Amino acid sequence: MKLILFLGAGVSVPSGLPTAADLMDKIMHGAYHQESSHIYAPGSNTDPALRATDLTPRIRKLLKVIMAHDLRDIGRVGYHRVGDGFKSSGAIYRGKTTYEDVFFLCQQVSLWNIGLSDNSLTTPFMEAIERKARHCLVGRTIKGRMWDLAMLGSQACDLIETVIADMLRGRYLTGLDLLLELATTPQIEQLNIVTLNHDTLVEQFLSVHGVEFVNGFGPPDGDVRWSDDKVFDVTKTRVQLLKLHGSVDWYRFSGSPKTAILLGNNPYTARDGTGKPLTPIFGRPSFLSGINKVTSYQRGIYADVHFRFHQLLRTSDQIVMSGYGWGDTAINFQLDKWLEECERNRIILLYKMPEKLADRSLILESCWDSYVKSGQLACINEYFQNVSLRELQVVLEASVPKT
C-alpha cells in the first residue's frame, strides 16, 4: 500500500507549539526590537539611540488598525434583504482575524508602493487605513503618509515572519507515535508525508527514531544541504517528506538559485564545504505566509515540491489527514479534484469533531454529505496523537462501497 499522510498545524500542538492565536499575541506584544532595516530580533532594544528609531512600536499600532478594519469587514459582507432593510451574513467561512490575514494585507500594502499591486481594491484600502492610522504615520501630506504606510507594511511583514520563525523552532515532545508505526509497518510499502507545517517536528521525530527519509535536499555541504529535486528519483527509501509551505530551517543564500537546509543555528556564520562563507539573502527562513500563498506555488523550490505532490495524488488512492483546518483554497481544489477523479480515492480524517471542518471550507461543505455517503470521506473521531495503528488499519483496509 502507498499512503499519503497529510498533516497540518494541529499535530504540532501536543509538543507545545503555538496556535494561531498565540502567534498573533506574540506578534503584537512579544519582546522584539528592530536591529536594522528589515531585521528584527527577540528581546528589548538596550541602545537608547536605536530605541528612538525602532519601528516596532509604530508597526504594532498599524497592525492594530488593520486588524480592527479586517474584523469590521468580516461582519459587514453578504447583505441580504430582511423586510424593508438589509442584514449581513458576515464572511461565512472566516473566523477571527489571524496573522495570515494581517500578513496578506500588509503584503498588499508593501507591493502597492513599488508598483506591483495588481488589485484595484488596494488603493481604497490604503486610503481607508491612512485615515484611521494617522496617529502612527509620518508625513505632512497624504502622499507622504501613504508612503510611510507602505514602508511600515513592508517592515510589518518582516516582523511577522521573524516572530513566526522563532515561535515554530520548538523541539519535539509528544504526539507522533502513530507516525513511527506507519513508517515501519510492512503493510505500507511507501509512506508519503505531506505537511503544511513550517516546524521541523516530523524531521526531528523521524531522525531520533532512526527512520531514513528523503525530503528533496542533497547531502551536507558544510553547514547546509542544498535543494535537489532529483533525490526523490535516485534515493530509494520508503518514507518521503514534502513541505508544501516551506520550513523554518530553509534559507536562501546569495549567489545560488537553490534553497538550503541550514544545519546550524546561525545563517550569518554558515559556510559551504570548502569553507567559503555563505551570505543569507534575508536572514529569515524561507516559508510561505499569508492567505495568498498560491501565488508562490510555482516559484523556486515550491514548484518542485508541488509537482511531487501532484505526482503522489496520481499514484495514491488513500490519504490519512490530521491537523489540517481546510484553510488553503488551492490545496482544497486539488483534493476535491482528486476525490472526483476516482471513486476509490478516499480521505480518512482524524479529528475529534470532523463535521466541524466543513464550517471552514466552501468546497468541503458542498461535498461533505455525498463523500461521506459514498465512503470517500471516512472519519475517526480522535486526534492524531490518540489514534492507534490497529484502529487506523481497520479503516484503511475497508474498501470504498461501489455506487
pLDDT tens for 368-384 read: 999 999 999 999 999 99
Segment 36-47 mean pLDDT: 88
Could you name the CATH architecture of 2-17+171-396? 3-Layer(aba) Sandwich (3.40)
As given in the structure block, the three cell numbers for residue 370 are: 455525498
Segment 25-45 mean pLDDT: 92
How deeply is 61 buried, as exposed, middle or buried, from its count of CB atoms within 10 A (0-12, 13-18, 19+)?
middle
What is residue 264's DSSP assignment? S
CB 360 within 8 A of CB 328: no
Q: Full-prediction pTM beyond 0.85?
A: yes
Q: Which residues contact 85 (CB under 8 A, 6 or more apart)?
A: none
Cell 468546497 locates to 363
Helix and strand counts by DSSP (H, E) for the chain: 13, 14
| CA 137 – CA 146 distance, rounded (Å) | 8
Q: Which residues contact 246 (CB under 8 A, 6 or more apart)?
A: 198, 285, 286, 287, 288, 301, 302
- Give the closest residue to 180 by CA, choosing from 247, 231, 238, 242: 238
34-48, 155-169, 284-298 — most confident range: 155-169
| CA 277 – CA 341 distance, rounded (Å) | 49
Sequence spans of domains, the chain: 2-17+171-396, 20-167
Query: Model confidence over 267-288: pLDDT tens digits?
Result: 999 999 999 999 999 888 999 8
CB 234 within 8 A of CB 283: no
Coil vs helix vs strand at 337: helix
